[in-house]
Amino acid sequence: MGLHCPAILLVAASPRDPKGADALVAALAGERVLSVVRAPGDEAGGRLAQTLDVPLEDEPGLTQAPPPRAVLGEIADLHRGETVLVLTSERAGDTPFARMELD
């Protein structure tokens, strides 16, 4: 049995405008985000990655709403021990993002 650290996925709706992007960045203060994962072509994801100064990854499975649990699991498998911002097309509720810890 191998030991590994869980991935922390911060799942958020992709911001629709600069004000929404600024609010999301402010909400992420204190989080050590190491990557942004977006659906291909999501321009807001590119701007957020630049603002956070982290790598940007495309994940075709994020075009579905809500994203399938298997897609989130694949992202987690690639980012063990890391905190990753995952942008989706739907809101996570009343909070700016939902925190998921996946083993």
The answer as to whether 79 is a domain residue is: yes
- Give the pLDDT band (50/70/90) at residue 58: very high
Confirm whether pTM is higher than 0.85.
yes
Mean predicted lDDT score pLDDT of the chain? 92
In a domain, 1, yes or no: no
Per the structure, the count of domains in the chain is 1
Domain membership of residue 45 as a residue range: 7-102
Q: Residue 61, exposed/middle/buried by CB under 10 A (0-12, 13-18, 19+)?
A: middle
What does the pLDDT read at residue 1? 47
- 55 versus 5: the higher-pLDDT residue is 55
